[in-house]
Amino acid sequence: MDGIIPLYKERGMTSFDCVNRVKHIVHEKHVGHAGTLDPNVDGVLPICIGKATKCVDFLHEKPKEYSGELTIGFATTTEDLDGEVVDRKKVADKITDEEVQNAMSAMTGHIKQIPPMYSSVKVNGRRLYEYARAGEKVERPEREVNIISFKMIANDFDSQKDQQRVSFTVKCSKGTYVRTLAVDLAKKLGYPGVMSSLTRISSGGFSLDQTLSLEDLSDLAANQLISQYILPLDIVFEDWQHVNLTKEQWQAVQNGAWLKVGELPHNSKQRLALTYQSQIKALYYRRDTDHYAPLKMISTKA
């Protein structure tokens, strides 16, 4: 069984939990996910099965989109509601829509981020959350991410709690910590903040309305219908240039051979999805002026 399931991950589960559950439902050993979601975040989690596990890196290339909520007025150790409160500052008067939108605009485009201490980023062979749990400090690596869009949906001032809630959507590149983005927005507005809710509404080219829950998958498996709902791995490469191989070319590709530029269609792109008998067999890239070389082998079987 090979293909992709756009899974709806519920809150309270880890991404690894979801992978294990899917393994048992579809009875396959080779199952992986494309893009970790924190336990308190729900939404789209692409699950790759069989040969589709080779597509994970290419699913990561596609932007992700989230809807979330920032609560302004206090901060926590984890930048979300799971952590301990470490800072408070009353919001005495409403931060205007214009102030919020201007701050968001300033945070759009290519920006630098420092990942939160409670994250899975590795430093010196250990994950940051391991340092955090041990009470140890370590220098965190700065990374560049691309915030394609960052928009305010609602802006509600709570005079009873002296807090403000900003609902937002964000479309961003892989590696973006939306928790950190939300907290940095609060800082830009002059206050501590915390990400109080987050849902991933799009990932790997799949949207929330395409997802199936674990309960859905169990029911489909029980009725022997699950294979009808597993999407072909080819869907990941719909926007790639496809090149149909001749029998002789396919034999060469099976052995990992480079292909000459002259053997391929004129004006071929930098990356190609090579097909044989209507199935993607390999991904090649322009190695030099005269050759294309293997980027990823999907299958060497006819």
Which sequence positions are flagged as catalytic? 38
Helix (H, G, I), strand (E, B) or coil at 37: coil
E strands present in 14-142 = 31-33, 42-49, 64-72, 74-76, 85-88, 109-113, 122-123, 126-127
Pairing between β-strand 193-203 and β-strand 42-49 as defined by DSSP bridges = parallel
Q: How far is CA 72 from the centre of its chain?
A: 26
CB neighbours of 227 closer than 8 A, spacing ≥ 6? 1
Question: Contact, 15 vs 30, CB < 8 A?
Answer: no
Q: Which residues pair with 143 in a beta bridge?
A: 113
Can you tell me the distance from the alpha carbon of 227 to that of 49, in angstroms, rounded to the nearest whole number? 11
Residue count of the chain, please give it. 302
Pairing between β-strand 109-113 and β-strand 122-123 as defined by DSSP bridges = unpaired
